[in-house]
Amino acid sequence: KEEVNQKLFEKLDKDNVIENSREWLASVNPSWDHNDAVGVLKSWESIDTLVLEFVDSIANVLTAAGEEAVKNGSPESKLYHGIPEEGLSMAEANAKFGPTALGPAKSKGWVEVVAGKLKKKVDTIVDTTQQQLSGDLNAIPAKELLNFKKSRFVEEKKLNYCKVSKGPKYNIRKKELSDITVEMLKDDSWAQENFKFNVNSLGLVPESGYRHPLSKVKAEFKQIFLDMGFEEMPTFNFVENGFWNFDALFQPQQHPARESHDTFFLKSPATSHDFTEEYLDKVKTVHSVGGYGSLGWIYDWKLEEAEKNILRTHTTAVSARMLYKLAQTGFKPKKYFSIDRVFRNETLDATHLAEFHQVEGLVIDNDISLSNLIGVISEFFRRLGIDNIRFKPAFNPYTEPSMEIFGYHPMLKKWVELGNSGIFRPEMCLPMGLPEGARVAAWGLSLERPTMIKYGLDNIRAIFGNSINVNFIKNNPICMFPTETK
């Protein structure tokens, strides 16, 4: 088999094609069986190394009688040589040499009948039948060949052969493997192998376990914060009380956000009290009579309002808890972030839902200024691939100064609001026990808006809630914001 392969590729390398496998095989080694060789050829064909084209052909071959004539002479020559000096009776001749010998011997003028006995007519003969049958049968003139067929020395036999040419994978010429090994994966040699299976197939898409687009964007944002040295805040509590959500942030109790048409209140448990009396007193004082150089809001601050349980309206409630803890455990410069769910009692429409996700970031350090705030926010958005941002003065109960952040949307070709920011007011930071010089630059934005922009959606209900299309979740690519500016 190895030898067949060697000769085979030698020939094809040289001539590109083998017109007739039978003839080629006979010329290389007549002892090889054609069927065996075809088996080898077919295995190469199955892996596209070779292309085979089978051809049916008729070949002239010797019959057993033909073979005998080649070996020991034609029947007529046997008859001639078998006639003794005194001659042979016709009966004896027929019995010994058969009925086919006499006719040709007579017609060739080798024998004659004298007085009822068969006698030699010539001294020597040339057995042309034997000569012709010994040579190339295809070279025998048609008329004589037909006679050989009639006298059953030659017969026609169906013989197929194939035309062999190079296949599309001729140069790979490798056997198909049924296993891919660790070694092949390690040294990348699998790429040079042939496999019984398709290694280029993408495979079946799993039927479950898709990451939601919001979760993909969240992972991207989280990475940016982590890259910038931020620590994640624990945002696992959806339920807050008014104290941490509003009062600690110096948001007055008459503020419209604290009405039931803006905020969800809990029926059970309706209240909670997880703040110290000392801190409560300070917050109460700064709201009702002022302090730290501030006049406060000047109103009758009520503990009942602070104790009301609500679904948190922003993750800034968690920022407040974290800053209070930092003040109590000893102030250090910190960078915090969170990305989690918040709840607002909104009228639902294409851009508003009752629950959404907020991205929150804050930096606390000594002598933080507005330019630090602009710098850190610009860097954050730069890492999201948004270079072109603008700040607009705004109002926020717990920040001063406050700035809305706008980004230029190249697809929409307009400035869109990205979020809100500011420096937390002293009325918020000082009652917590943070040192005078410590400043907090903070900002917040929705997770949904950049996700909608990223995935080209104009309706928030397409990414959140019960009307989302499952195929949308399945088919969308992972989220990648450029991490380098152009």
Contacts with ligand PHE by CB under 6 A lie at 314, 316, 360, 396, 399, 420-422, 442-444
Q: Which is nearer to ligand PHE, 280 or 359 (CB)?
A: 359
What percent of the residues of the chain are helix, what percent strand, and what percent coil, each to the nearest 5?
40, 25, 35
Closest separation between CB of residue 303 and ligand PHE, Å?
Answer: 24
Residues 6+ apart with CB under 8 A from 185: none
Q: Which is nearer to ligand PHE, 97 or 381 (CB)?
A: 381
Q: Which is nearer to ligand PHE, 34 or 222 (CB)?
A: 222
Q: Dig out the tokens for 153 from the structure.
A: 């020395």
DSSP 143-194: HHHHHHHHTTSEEEEEEEEEEEEE-TTTTT--PEES---HHHHHTTGGGGSE
Closest separation between CB of residue 306 and ligand PHE, Å?
Answer: 18
Closest separation between CB of residue 349 and ligand PHE, Å?
Answer: 18
CA 10, CA 25: separation in Å to the nearest integer? Answer: 13
Q: Which is nearer to ligand PHE, 306 or 342 (CB)?
A: 342
Residue showing the smallest CB distance to ligand PHE in the complex: 444
- Cα angle vertex 28, ends 26, 30, to 5°? 40
Output phi, psi for 146, to 5 deg. Answer: -60, -40
User: How many C-beta atoms lie closer than 10 Å to residue 291's C-beta?
Assistant: 16
CA 315, CA 356: separation in Å to the nearest integer? Answer: 11
Tell me the angle at which helices 213-227 and 370-383 cross, rounded to the nearest 10 degrees. 130
Q: Dig out the tokens for 289 from the structure.
A: 């009579």
Q: Which is nearer to ligand PHE, 129 or 313 (CB)?
A: 313
CA 273, CA 308: separation in Å to the nearest integer? Answer: 9
CA 415, CA 419: separation in Å to the nearest integer? Answer: 12
Closest separation between CB of residue 445 and ligand PHE, Å?
Answer: 7
Closest separation between CB of residue 391 and ligand PHE, Å?
Answer: 12
Q: Which is nearer to ligand PHE, 129 or 446 (CB)?
A: 446
CA 194, CA 200: separation in Å to the nearest integer? Answer: 11
Closest separation between CB of residue 453 and ligand PHE, Å?
Answer: 18
Closest separation between CB of residue 293 and ligand PHE, Å?
Answer: 21
Closest separation between CB of residue 457 and ligand PHE, Å?
Answer: 21
Q: Which is nearer to ligand PHE, 431 or 444 (CB)?
A: 444
Q: Which is nearer to ligand PHE, 84 or 393 (CB)?
A: 393
Q: Are 220 and 214 in contact (CB under 8 A)?
A: no
